[in-house]
């Protein structure tokens, strides 16, 4: 099977989804094909870095060239393709899935993606605090309050904090400031990374703090899972939940790479 034949088949049964970031992912669910290429590598062509399979540019399910502006991203993509053994399993290719989504979905709908991030910030999980138990209240305050304060200083606005799950509207000045920051995230690749970081952490604040260099990837991940980790400390870890978290972390790491390097 040639590269072009494989890539056409790879995306032949894809269904476009309403979420622009997930638009290409259904196309990755075909029966697993055999690996047909010897070498995957990143090659610079026409001002972009292409993922090449035996010298030929790979393509997304929508037949766009699998090419990005960032050498580190292209090299990580090529490494993901090179690591496939026997069969090509998209489930083990989180970076490729996300870049496909960026090139096939976000590229045409980046304004909708930016708007969704701003809407997310309007009800951000970090702005809704526990009222009890006191230990959790204190943990949230120690972890979340300093980074929120740092982001507030950076954007020139203040978030409204709430307790429990009752909706509390954020000031329009804050949302406008966030919109300006989000507008500066390059589309489509870095923006797709930003969107996935946000959805995987449940927080636009954490995504922006990460994008602004106010904290690192591990710290953002830990902050996002503070409540979950508190419950694990009381009730113990569920094995299936732990496995899902490992998968999410791989997807998160891929998204962080795109956000920072895309």
Each residue's pLDDT tens digit, 83-107: 999 999 999 999 999 999 999 999 9
Tell me what pLDDT residue 121 has: 97
Question: What pLDDT sits at residue 24?
Answer: 53
* Class of residue 211 by CB neighbours under 10 A (exposed 0-12, middle 13-18, buried 19+): buried
Please provide residue 56's backbone torsions phi and psi, each rounded to the nearest 5 degrees.
-105, 135
pLDDT at 10 over 50: no
In the predicted model, what is the mean pLDDT of the chain?
91
How much of the chain exceeds pLDDT 70, in percent?
89
96/73 Cα distance (integer angstroms)? 10
* SS3 call for 244: helix
So what's the pLDDT on residue 20?
Answer: 58
Q: Crossing angle for the helix pair 134-155 and 172-183, nearest 10 degrees?
A: 70
**Residue 214 backbone dihedrals phi, psi, to 5 degrees:** -85, -15
The superfamily (CATH) of domain 110-261 is ATP12 ATPase (1.10.3580.10)
Q: What pTM, to 2 d.p., does this model score?
A: 0.86
Mean pLDDT, residues 66-95: 96
Mean pLDDT calculated for residue range 240-262: 96
pLDDT single digits (tens) 166-214 = 899 999 999 999 999 999 999 999 999 999 999 999 999 999 999 999 9
Q: Where in the chain is the domain with CATH 1.10.3580.10?
A: 110-261
What is the model's pLDDT at position 8? 45
Closest to 180 (Cα-Cα) out of 161, 155, 199: 155
Confidence of residue 14 (pLDDT cuts 50, 70, 90): very low
Pairing of strands 67-68, 48-53: antiparallel
Look at residue 5 and tell me whether its pLDDT is greater than 60. no
CATH number given to 3-107: 3.30.2180.10
d(CA 99, CA 195): 12
Q: Where in the chain is the domain with CATH 3.30.2180.10?
A: 3-107
Give every CB contact of residue 64 below 8 A, 6+ residues apart in sequence. Answer: 103, 104, 107
pLDDT for res 23: 52
């Amino acid at each position: 099977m040639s590269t072009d034949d494989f890539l056409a088949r790879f995306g032949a049964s894809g269904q476009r989804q309403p979420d622009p970031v997930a638009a290409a992912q259904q196309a990755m669910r075909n029966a697993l094909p055999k690996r047909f290429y010897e070498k995957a590598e990143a090659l610079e062509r026409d001002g972009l870095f292409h993922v090449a399979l035996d010298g030929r540019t790979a393509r997304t399910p929508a037949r766009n060239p699998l090419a990005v502006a960032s050498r580190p991203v292209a090299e990580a993509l090529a490494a993901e393709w090179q690591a496939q053994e026997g069969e090509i399993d998209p489930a083990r290719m989180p970076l490729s899935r996300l870049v496909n989504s960026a090139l096939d979905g976000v590229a045409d709908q980046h304004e909708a993606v930016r708007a969704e991030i701003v809407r997310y910030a309007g009800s951000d999980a970090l702005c809704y605090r526990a009222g009890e138990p006191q230990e959790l209240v204190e943990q949230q305050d120690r972890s979340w309050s300093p980074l929120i304060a740092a982001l507030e200083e950076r954007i020139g606005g203040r978030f409204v904090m709430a307790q429990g799950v009752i909706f509390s509207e954020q000031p329009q000045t804050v949302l406008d400031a966030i919109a300006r920051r989000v507008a500066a995230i390059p589309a489509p690749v870095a923006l797709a990374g930003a969107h996935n970081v946000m959805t995987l952490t449940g927080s636009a604040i954490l995504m922006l703090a990460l994008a602004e260099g106010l904290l690192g990837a591990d710290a953002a991940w830990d902050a996002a899972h503070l409540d979950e980790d508190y419950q694990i400390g009381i009730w113990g870890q569920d094995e299936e939940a732990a496995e899902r978290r490992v998968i999410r972390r791989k997807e998160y790491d891929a998204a962080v790479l795109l956000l920072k390097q895309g």
